[in-house]
Structure 1
Amino acid sequence: MANEVTVPLLPCASIDDIEAFYGVLGFRTTYKQRKPNPCVGVRREDLQLQFFELPGFDPEQSYGSCLVLTADVEGLHGAFAAGMRAAYGKVLVAGTPRMTRPRARKNADGVGGFSVIDPGGNWIRVFRNAAAAPGPATPLATTSAVAPVGRLGKALANAVVQADSRGSAAQAVRILDSALARPHAGDDDPVERVEVLVYRAELALVLHDPKTAADMLARARSVTLSADECARAASAFDNAAEVAAALR
């Protein structure tokens, strides 16, 4: 048989909160009922999700998750980000709900992806579909070309696995703080330093530590970069702008 469709069914505390959030991301409601069991279905083009409401459900304790494979990781992230900016005035980078940025995943053979953590605490994990025609590539969302070469890049790759894949921001912070505490090596890449500092700022927000987030952003801005290095750090500075917006 061919052309089968699988639709994830995920838990939440409120189907109304789920419906409103996914509406921000460009989904339309395909089905909703209150009785006998509250549930809602949402759809955005070929991406379909369904949710069921559980009384007393704690999103922070959710294990709900699913994978989304797409040829255009950056395009989908950009559309979601635009919806958040229109609805909230910023991209949600901390709290629940929130969204991570497209980054290469060391634990997924370097394939780029991002995650949406919805109001139910479900992790919607978006990855590039290697079997599909490739979409426009960016330095943070391609494959082996982004393999880290410096010690800071390796620390960043390990931290991304912990926070963006496993949801352990605290462990990711320990990795980055250890790397940043070491004396500068002569071959340290200043772009990698900017990326580490900006990601550390993002994680500080996730851990409800705005003071550290602001300090890390200031340190990132103080790194001296050449014109070529500024171009390479463009994505990190875009992330810095989102973190700064979340601080306001």
Structure 2
Amino acid sequence: MSGTVVTVPLLPCRSIDEASEFYRMLGFERTHHQTRPNPYIVMARDGWELHFFGVDQLDPENTYGTCLVFVPDTGALWDEFAAGMRAAHGKVLVEGIPRVTRPRKRANTGNRAGFSLTDPSGNVIRFFPQQEDTARSEAPQSRLGRTLVKAIVLGESKGDAEQAAKLLDSTLARSGDEAPKPELLDALVYRAELALRTGDRARAAALLKQVGDTELTDAEREAAASALATAADLRGAA
């Protein structure tokens, strides 16, 4: 077979106007809009598209709309999405619907640093780098660090925030004090994010306070820079 093969995600939405407004906030352009014979829009950016069709009585909590998007740089794309959210809402949307996760490397995706965007209709758009990260990552030094790797797979790939939280809580209680501080902060911040996803704002606030109260050397602060940046975003929601 010759020629270029193109596949386009076709996702449900409860309102094409709501979907259009949300994705425009993230830097998309609406390139097609129709209301008859059925509501339908096309949102595009950077040479790729997402298509949406209207569905009456769509429940965002129970939809199964999802797709994978492979992009050159998930970190750069996340930064653009976050900037759009901050401009529109004064914060990054990290809980409820809509929301976005931060790029994190996952053991079950070839070490790719992916993130997920949940839109107002509950569709989950999963972003991954086009290329597998072949750089050798340092193995976690502690039991907590190894548990965090498993928790991220549960929370991000499987979407089981409650089970990921239980796994982290157990290891934090037993051996959290033994972990290097950058690994401890990574775990605490991810656990705080999980708490927000499950509606436990008090737990999230307590975890973020623990992060803020942790004394760090300059080297530890540099190693924990990503976790500290995520904590700053989470405090806006906690």
Measured against the shorter chain, the TM-score band is over 0.9
Distance 1:157 1:183 in 2: 15
Which amino acid counterpart does residue 207 of structure 1 have in structure 2?
T
Match of 2:104 in 1: 103
> Structure 2 residue aligned with 1:227, among 195, 198, 218?
218
Secondary structure class of the residue paired with 2:49 = strand
* Distance in structure 1 (CA, Å) of the matches to 2:175 and 2:219: 24
What RMSD, in angstroms, separates the aligned Cα atoms of the two structures?
Answer: 1.6
Answer yes or no: is 1:3 the counterpart of 2:7: no
Q: Distance in 2 between matches of 1:143 and 1:120?
A: 37
Instruction: Map 1:22-41 onto structure 2 (within 5 A).
Output: 22-41=23-42
Residue number in structure 2 paired with 1:138: none
SS at match of 2:137: helix
1:151 alignment partner in structure 2:
143
Percent same amino acid among aligned pairs?
A: 46
Give the number of aligned pairs: 237
Give 1:245's aligned residue. Answer: 236
CA contact (8 A) 2:65 2:122 kept: yes
Matches of 1:9 and 1:147 in 2, distance apart? 39
1:206 equivalent in structure 2: 197
Q: Name 2:173's counterpart in structure 1.
A: 181
Q: CA deviation at 1:52?
A: 1.0
**What is the aligned partner in structure 1 of residue 122 from structure 2?**
121
The CA deviation at 1:124 is: 0.8
Structure 2: any 5+ residue segments left out of the alignment? none
CA distance in 2, matches of 1:119, 1:65: 13
- State which of 207, 210, 220 in structure 2 corresponds to 1:216: 207
Q: Distance in 2 between matches of 1:62 and 1:45?
A: 27
User: Secondary structure at the residue paired with 1:177?
Assistant: helix
Mapped to 2, the partners of 1:143 and 1:94 lie a distance apart of 32
Residue 12 (1) aligns with residue 3 (2): no
Rounded Cα–Cα distance in structure 2 between residues aligned with 1:142 and 1:195 = 22
Q: Contact 1:77–1:101 at 8 Å: present in 2 too? A: yes
Q: Does 1:162 align with 2:163?
A: no
SS at match of 1:217: helix
Say which SS state the counterpart of residue 108 (structure 2) adopts.
helix
Do the aligned partners of residues 162 and 88 (structure 1) sit closer, same or farther apart at CA in structure 2, a change above 3 Å counting?
A: same
TM-score (norm 1): 0.90
1:78-93 map, 5 Å? 78-93=79-94
Unaligned runs of 5+ in 1: 132-140
- 2:185 — aligned with what? 194
